[in-house]
Amino acid sequence: MTTKIAVLLYDGFTALDAVGPYEVLSRIPGAEVVFTAARPGPVRTDMGSLALTADVPFSEVPDPDVLLVPGGPGCAALLDDRPTLDWIRTADAATTWTTSVCSGSLLLAAAGLLTGRRATSHWICLDMLEAYGATPVGGERIVVDGKYGTSAGVSAGIDFALHMTGRMCGAQVAEAIQLVIEYAPEPPYSTGSTASAPPGLVEALRASNLVVGRNNQAAPHGN
């Protein structure tokens, strides 16, 4: 039996939000991952130097088993885009799981799917979830409420996809995929969350809207 997994693409999405989960979910036995957008063709990421190809338009993916919405700065332009939100609602009516990575949860919330539900997102936009009726959850990398699964910023998509694989297929399949992709992270720095990063770095990145530059380099720990 085929499990159809639809990944939504739009101009300005963050590459790892889509590609990280793809590396995991595409290895599920019987899974078929399809990249879809309002129009088929190449879709540029937020950094501009990379594009992924949307093979089919929304109209050809009306009933996926799993929906995954990546985040990225481009999602801001879609928060009131009726064709995109309508398709998300249509797809959700058929899904077993409706999911997101990073700020992709804002699109689920804008479509009205997270009203009254716990959800997470990238730390810089958690507060926006509440404006769309969701209950924002900080400090948790993965949040599942009913059939809705949301995950924190960018790299959390890999953890999330493994978590979802375990729920859908069992721990043995998820563990096998984790070994295939040799996912055993050992980050060289401890600034991967607002809880462990220097407060000055957090505030500098917040002020720059996550633009990395010389002006937001905080002093190392202990200085």
Catalytic residues: 102
Q: In what order do the strands lie in the sheet with 148-151?
A: 56-57, 31-37, 3-8, 66-69, 97-101, 148-151, 142-145
Between CA 107 and CA 68 the distance in angstroms is 11
CB 75 within 8 A of CB 106: yes
3-state DSSP of the chain: CCEEEEEECCCCECHHHHHHHHHHHCCCCCEEEEEEECCCEEEEECCCCCEEEECEEHHHCCCCCEEEECCCHHHHHHCCCHHHHHHHHHHHCCCCEEEEECCHHHHHHHCCCCCCCEECCCHHHHHHHHHCCCEECCCCCEEEECCEEEECCCCHHHHHHHHHHHHHHCHHHHHHHHHHCCCCCCCCCCCCCCCCCCHHHHHHHHHCCCCCCHHHCCCCCCC
